[in-house]
């Protein structure tokens, strides 16, 4: 009895399939892009609330403070999401499958 009698191969564990490899590659890039845009959002809100429309450290009413924060967060969110769209369309996913109008129509629905 040799080594061959107890060994079996499982083809499900093999990641040589090109589709699986592409999916793994896109998943890794998607995670990196998502982490980067989350940092851009956090850094953007920090810059905006400290230098553009201050929300902390100055004597202003709570109504003004909360409206400043809402404006700062909205601007940071829009910038981060625009960057996320650009990174994902250029670096993460294959280009040419969707155009901007189709994506905007899907988002508006």
Q: What is the pTM of this model?
A: 0.65
> Considering the domain boundaries, does residue 17 fall inside one?
no
DSSP 29-87: HHHHHHHHHHHHHHHHHHHIIIIIS--SSS---HHHHHHHHHHHHHHHHHHHHHHHHHH
Q: Has residue 6 been placed in a domain?
A: no
Report d(CA 76, CA 48) in Å as an integer: 8
What pLDDT is stored for residue 78 in this prediction? 94
Q: What is the pLDDT of residue 61?
A: 85
Domain for residue 108, yes or no?
A: no
Domain tally, the chain:
1
Is 30 among the domain residues?
A: yes
Q: Domain residues for 29?
A: 25-93
Residue 2 lies in a domain: no
Predicted local distance difference test score (pLDDT) of residue 55:
74
Asked if residue 42 belongs to a domain, the reply is yes
**Is 7 a member of any domain?**
no
Digitized pLDDT (tens) for each residue of the chain, 109 residues in all: 555 555 555 545 555 666 677 678 788 888 999 999 999 999 999 999 888 888 776 788 888 888 989 999 999 999 999 999 889 888 887 665 556 666 666 666 6
């Amino acid at each position: 009895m040799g080594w061959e009698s107890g060994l079996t191969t499982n083809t499900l564990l093999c990641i040589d399939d090109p589709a699986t490899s592409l999916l793994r590659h896109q998943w890794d890039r998607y995670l990196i892009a998502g982490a980067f845009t989350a940092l851009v959002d956090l850094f953007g809100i920090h810059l905006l609330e400290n230098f553009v429309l201050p929300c902390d450290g100055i004597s202003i009413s709570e109504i003004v403070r909360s409206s400043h924060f809402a404006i700062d967060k909205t601007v940071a969110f829009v910038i981060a999401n625009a960057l996320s769209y650009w990174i994902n369309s250029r670096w993460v996913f294959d280009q040419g499958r969707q155009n901007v109008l189709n994506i905007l129509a899907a988002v508006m629905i």
